[in-house]
Amino acid sequence: MLRGGLRGARWCGGLCSSLCLVGAGRSTLLRRPRALSAAFSSNGGGARSGGAPSAGASDVKPLDGVKILDLTRVLAGPFATMNLGDLGAEVIKVERPGAGDDTRAWGPPFAGTESVYFLSVNRNKKSIAINMKDSKGAKLIRELAAVSDVFVENYVPGKLAEIGLGYEDIQKIAPHIVYCSITGYGQTGPMVQRGGYDSIAAAVSGLMHITGHEDGEPVRAGVAMTDLATGLYTYGAIMAGLLQRYKTGKGLHIDCNLLSSQVACLTHVAANYLNCKIEGKRWGTAHGSIVPYQAFKTKDGYIVVGAGNDQQFVTVCKILNLPEVSKDSRYKTNTLRVENRKELIDILSTRFSEKATIEWLQLFEGSGVPYGPINNMQQVFSDPQVGSHQVFSVLHNGLVMKMDHPTAGRIAVPGPGVRYSDFAMSHPKPPPLVGQHTVEILKGTLGYEDDAIEELLRTGAVAQHEVR
């Protein structure tokens, strides 16, 4: 049975779910993680001043003590919660008993029996397998929400409300909760009941219309950029929600969706249409407003060069030994270069085709002009010294995380793209097996006794994965 002790408690307004027992005009703080309480001044609302790191700061992460109940599947939601887990949050991933997250079946490739796709976006999480269609399972979700700071879900609007897990339901029992919904198209409107996948949202949002060769068919990006952008928006929105709760003492609902995220990321292409009624088009590797800014074919591969201003263009011409081009009145300014794009690109392309990629890389080194080769994955994750000249920083920047998985063995995944001066995102926990932490969470987080857990397991309301 569930141990008592929390009845009559209410939630203090803070970044983390600090339980306060209120009575007789006083409140007693039961839990206040040091990382979060230290991050803000005692008078509320202002960040602590001073640039010097405190003693032992490397052991403290920004979200230490924050508990996230994660009901998301596939990519956008798991990517967001993985990034929050990297910052110290305790992420409890709720999965279906047996099958778990949809992406567990996405393959090949597999590492042993584990989907590499799933492994790539689920580190630093615990998994509890709950049958939410069972009333006892839904009750467990509500109990976990009551002791969590953040509730994240990516169901079609209304589905969770049908089983008493919608925002209004959770808000009643956990007014402190930062409840984040990730959908395909938002909470209202004619498309609200449609499921959302990256490719469809990329098509509807216009991203596919502007992606691909200039005279070719629409193309899907090589990775699910709409999902990933939504995950990053979600990640930031949850952080903002926690800060808002710190200021107001109340939780809130956050609406993230694939369509809005991708339309927001159309930036200048959308602004071109909104302000000048210029329709977006496909440019291949080139740019509609900057010339030259694209890939050029070399003797043995490709090099991408971008001249973002007139001086950089002069430098490009000098490196290519085309001084007459930089002096040509047709190419004096970027506006003129855009107007005379075809003629200029033909001249530059002919010259780039005369040397190998490595030769051009050597010539551009130290020039101040942005440039780089088009690498395959083997080149991206090879030794920091690529070829005999070009140095890349993938390994130097700590972008590969290695972990020992209970069934897949040693695995490696791309790590977070940000580094911090005061703490390191090291020693990641491997992605969990389905229900690997069910009993641990029921006992440690909810205080269930063995007999109650055994009954839940027997009836199929929950499942525990036994690692062999």
- Note the helical H segments in 300-425: 310-319, 323-327, 334-339, 341-352, 357-364, 377-380
The structure tokens 């002096």 sit at 327
User: Is 346 a residue of the active site?
Assistant: no
Task: List, in sequence order, every beta strand (DSSP E) within 24-149.
Answer: 26-29, 67-71, 90-95, 110-111, 114-115, 126-130
3-state SS, residue 150: strand
Pairing of strands 400-405, 409-414: antiparallel
Q: What are the residues facing 182 on neighbouring strands?
A: 256
Strand order across the 19-23 sheet: 10-11, 19-23, 26-29
**Phi, psi for residue 93 in degrees, rounded to 5:** -90, 120
The structure tokens 């990053």 sit at 232
Pairing of strands 293-297, 302-306: antiparallel
**Kind and range of the H or E run holding 411:** strand 409-414
Tokens representing 413?
């995944």
Candidate list 227, 300, 328, 450, residue with the active-site label: 227
Q: What is the DSSP letter of 98?
A: T
CA within 13 Å, CB half, 187: 13
Q: Which residues are catalytic, by number? A: 227
